[in-house]
Chain A
Amino acid sequence: MAEHAPVLIVLSPLLGAILVMLTVRLGSVAAWVIALVATATSASAAIATLGRVLQAPEGVIRYQLGGWAPPMGIEYRVDAINSLVTIAIAIVGFLSILYTRSCATIETPSKQPQFYALLLLLMAGLSGVTLTNDAFNLYVLIEICSLTSYGLIAMGTRRAVLASFNYVIIGTIGASFYLLGVGYLYIKTGSLNMEDIRGMIAANETLAASATIEVAFVLMMLGVWMKMALFPLHGWLPNAYAYSPTGTSAFMAPMVTKVMVYVMVRVMLGVFGVDYVFGSNWANVASVLATIAIVAGSVFALSRRDIRRMLGYLIVAEVGYMVGGAWTATQAGMTGAIYHILSDAAMTFCLFLAVGIIIHRTGRHRLDAFDGLFQKMPLTMTLFVIGGLSMIGLPPTCGFISKWYLVQGGIEAGQWHFVVALLISSLVNAILFFRIFERAFFRDIEFESLETHHDPEKAATVLKKVPLSMFIAAAIAAASLFVIGIFNHNLTTWIRAALVNLNL
């Protein structure tokens, strides 16, 4: 059984999704329970896989789907990095489903089973993307993620439909670029297995120097950058997360862009190889793009009044962090980028969950929702503060640790523009969050404008009644910021060992 753990990570949400649709007549509670069980199974399989990876020789295990050997069959290649990412996907998925129960009954009352089924499919797609060692299979799984995301986003408010359509257009273009790139690679190498391709590029200098390979590389990068919303290809993201249902944004915001960042790292190190990628002329371009993304994302975030749009632009900046870190071509920078996949997932998750509770309870979605909240919802507000401090990058939260590695990588690579952008973004985040903390601390809440009631006392009690399942999920997310931060040493050691194995 244990040797099948890698495929169980993907299969259990996939089968869960099917089961949810088969039992749709049993009602939303049954769907919720099935989804919880499926994600819990996926999480335990992911943790078991990590355990095996750490004991495996060279820290890598391979799993051949259906027993078909590569290069014909599809193979999963699991090392410490992607097993950590799958753990993050599964745990974030579990907690979002736990969290969604009470808000889904209000936001999407008639479509709850469908919502859980799509969310499970999305999880299956994301885990598959993370694990697979086959460039074409990766494309198929990306499409699974995209199609489910479109549906999940469109379940939101009326404007969500347009946001989803935007995402369809940009997402499809991005995926097509990626597919074109894979096509070129296949023409040149005759293989779709990532390690196979890497071996050929490394062994054959004329192949590595050919324009076709370079075009393939650029196309694949562009495709992935669109999917991860790297500025200026970010247009779809802020609206998609602002208008989608709370549960959707709670899961998608932390995981989807982050998994695409992992795909970028995988394409860089796994398909083309360190020597090819960092020997090319594109390293500088990517690093400058990342710098622009960080600054632009932070500045746009500062000027937004809608809370979730603001967080969306913060994600755009954070994507810049990771792209820039990966392209420093240093071990510290790459470690920072990968560690940031985990830590940013945790802190975005924490923030979106806390904000979800606040929007849910106050009925407001602009910054004025925070007025006076330290008096009325002190616990939820504390969780939000923890997320904010981690975004700013204060020790001992995980945001500090990732910033440390990223800055270290930037300095070692001599990419000072990237270092300065990181520091500026931290300062902008500080302004951004303390502006909110100040509102929450000093302003008085205006009960009159609350949707709930004109009666202040009633409104106050509504505010206090945060559903326990929502609060628990958010509290776990907030606690994880400290845990990942203080006990990061194991994580970064594993990540570095895996990077050494990929020749970095």
Chain B
Amino acid sequence: MESLESTLPLLACLVPLLAVPAIAAIGERSPNVREGVTVLAGIVTLTLVVTMLKTVIDGHLLRFTFIEVLPGVAIEFRVDGLGILFALVASSLWILTSIYTAGYMRGTHEANQTRFFSFFAVSIAATLGVAFSGNLFTLYLFYEILSLSTWPLVTHHGDKEARGGGRTYLTYLMGTSIGFALPAMIYTYIKSGGSLDFTAAGVLGQSLTGMEASVLLLLFVFGFSKAGVMPFHSWLPGAMVAPTPVSALLHAVAVVKVGVFCIVRVFTGVFGIDLLSELDAATAVSWVAGTTVILSSLIAMSQDNLKRRLAFSTIGQLSYIVLGVSLLSAHAVQGSMMHIAMHAFGKITLFFCAGAIFVASGKKYVSQLGGLGKAMPITMGAFAIGAMSVTGVPPTGGLLSKFYLVWGAADAGQFALLAIYLVSSVLNGVYFFPIVYAAFFHPAPEGDPPVKGIREAPFACVFPLFLTALASVLLFFFPGLLLDLTRLIAGAG
């Protein structure tokens, strides 16, 4: 692959950052202009990403080196298929979420909206930074910036519950990144002879024993605890105290996907799939992830708070991805990367719906949702599509990525782990579809004021969730781009 020098990845990260002073300066004086700036920055960012997309599909890499910080390690951007895919998902959903946020925050009369939009933009910049990182050090840099910039969003309400959630959030994310990922990274640096670059063959060569590689992998998987692999998952349900747009974009898409993205990068870029299969080092990770998939689905069933149920569902779906990449077969790795995108669209739809339900009716619990389909047909319809995609039912995109994951598991000959995928899909159905069924076919719970006709959330809330649900369906029919991009990295035929 030919690599081209380009400042585009740097620009794409800078645009959201540059929007911050503008957002802060406009402030509460003119909320419409302020949100306009956010959306405009989103559109510019997306345009930049699409510009890069063409070059990447042609088989080129884009590079930009800022400065050498440690011997052999620079702050460096490098755009490849996986990075551009993730950036595309994050930047397009940022625009939709901005519109949604405007509707939601005004609908619920939240305070400190300017601060909220500012830190949101910083978070997106950090997410893009992760997507475009050219080496592990740069990845870690943006990973930590993302932890910090999302903290004020999680604690947005500022009450006791929010501060507690924020504490858990930072304790888990920073504790694991400093305690596990950092030493693992330095160990990698020593073993590789001073390189942390992402290359298909990995940087470690023959320097590790199987045992060392297994331990190192586990340190990375637990260290990037944004991926929510058990037992370092509790921050995610705790972070549900944040306003719903944060849960939607960050805790269904940006933050958690950054976690799995980092893990995928470590597997495919630092170690290299070939080395790992040679050393047979990923088995431990497979079983940890497999256990997480099953356990989180079981816990999700028992959650009555809708957002918490979605959070546990997210934990399970993230471990799908980790499990997939740890199977070390080309199709499973490709499936993992596709699932990053597919799950993003499905889960953000579900979170948008949860927020819309809260704005329109004030309901937060699954048991209150009976009969809601009559008052909010669009929202609940979108919810059904999102649930289908996350479960993997046609015609939604989730089916395709699951298909690749199962295919890869069969390739790898891991039939026990293949069974985990299937069982978990059934469990996903079990915790989602009763909600949809009840919404459309059950009467409203007793004591609810009778609702006549349609009472949806504001248009700014409903429109984005309609689009993301639509995208989930379209991805089933037109998955070509996704397949091309992931094939570039996974190297599958």
Contact = CB atoms under 8 A, between A and B. Distances in A.
Partners in one complex: yes
Contact of A489 (B68, B167, B175, B179): B68
Contact of A430 (B68, B158, B178): B178
B163 interface: yes
B163 A430 contact: no
Nearest to B68: A489
Contacts of B148: 389, 394
Nearest to A430: B174
Contacts of A485: 69
B175 A407 contact: no
Nearest to B147: A394
A487 interface: yes
Contacts of B155: 438, 441-442
B144 interface: yes
A395 interface: yes
A407 B67 contact: no
A401 B183 contact: no
Interface in B124-158: 137, 140-141, 144, 148, 152, 155, 158
Contact of A427 (B70, B141, B163, B175): B175
B238 interface: no
Contacts of B70: 401, 404, 488-489
A503 B189 CA distance: 24
Given A394-B148, A411-B190, A434-B170, A426 B75 contact: no
Nearest to A422: B183
A486 interface: yes
B152 A486 contact: no
Contacts of A196: none
Nearest to B178: A426
Contact of A395 (B68, B140, B175): B140
Interface string B165-177: 0110011001100
B69 A393 contact: no
Given A401-B70, A441-B155, A442-B163, A423 B183 contact: yes
B178 A423 contact: yes
A412 interface: yes
Contacts of B170: 430, 434
Contacts of A396: 69, 75, 141
A419 interface: yes
A423 B182 contact: yes
B410 to A, nearest CB: 40
Interface string A357-395: 000000000000000000000000000000001001111
A350 to B, nearest CB: 18
A191 interface: no
A112 interface: no
A419 B166 CA distance: 28
B163 A408 contact: no
A408 B166 contact: no
A393 B178 contact: yes
Contacts of B189: 408
Interface string B189-205: 11000000000000000
B299 interface: no
Nearest to A408: B186
A438 B170 CA distance: 12
B187 interface: yes
Residue of B75, B186, B187, B189 contacting most chain A CB atoms (<10 Å):
B186
B123 to A, nearest CB: 16
Nearest to A394: B144
Nearest to B67: A486
Contacts of A395: 137, 140-141, 144
A11 B165 CA distance: 56
Given A395-B141, A395-B144, A486-B69, A427 B186 contact: no
Q: How large is the interface on B (under 10, 10 to 19, 20 to 34, 35 or more residues)?
A: 20 to 34
B166 A407 contact: no
A411 B183 contact: yes
A486 to B, nearest CB: 6
Contacts of B175: 427, 430
Contacts of B182: 403, 407, 423
Given A395-B141, A396-B141, A488 B186 contact: no
Contact of B186 (A392, A404, A487): A404
Contacts of B152: 441
A279 B391 CA distance: 63
Nearest to B74: A489
Given A395-B141, A401-B70, A412-B190, A438 B183 contact: no
Contacts of A492: 71
B190 A487 contact: no
A330 B166 CA distance: 39
Contacts of B187: 411
| Of listed B67, B71, B183, residue having the most chain A CB within 10 A | B183
A407 B190 CA distance: 11
Contacts of A442: 155, 158, 163
Contacts of B137: 395
B69 A488 contact: yes
Nearest to A412: B190
Contacts of B186: 404, 407-408, 411
A427 B172 CA distance: 11
A87 B208 CA distance: 42
Contacts of B67: 486-487, 489
B179 A423 contact: yes
Contact of A438 (B144, B166, B179): B166
A403 B144 CA distance: 15
Nearest to B66: A486
A438 B163 contact: yes
A499 B116 CA distance: 49
Given A411-B183, A412-B190, A441-B155, A489 B69 contact: yes
Nearest to B180: A423
A163 to B, nearest CB: 34
B174 A401 contact: no
Interface string A401-439: 101100110011000000100010011001100100010
Contact of A408 (B75, B171, B190): B190
A103 to B, nearest CB: 31
A410 to B, nearest CB: 9
Interface string A479-504: 00000011111001000000000000
Contacts of B190: 408, 411-412
A407 B183 contact: yes
A19 to B, nearest CB: 43
Interface centre among B68, B170, B171, B182 (most CB of A within 10 A): B182
Contacts of A392: 174, 178
Interface in A310-343: none
A142 B89 CA distance: 61
A401 to B, nearest CB: 7
A438 B175 CA distance: 17
Most buried by B among A393, A419, A427, A485: A427
11 contacts: A395-B144, A396-B75, A408-B189, A423-B183, A426-B178, A427-B178, A427-B179, A438-B155, A441-B158, A486-B67, A486-B75
The 3 closest A-B pairs by CB, nearest first: A395-B141, A442-B158, A426-B178
Given A438-B166, A488-B70, 16 more contacts: A393-B178, A396-B75, A407-B183, A407-B186, A423-B179, A423-B182, A430-B174, A430-B178, A438-B155, A438-B163, A438-B167, A441-B152, A441-B155, A442-B158, A442-B163, A489-B71
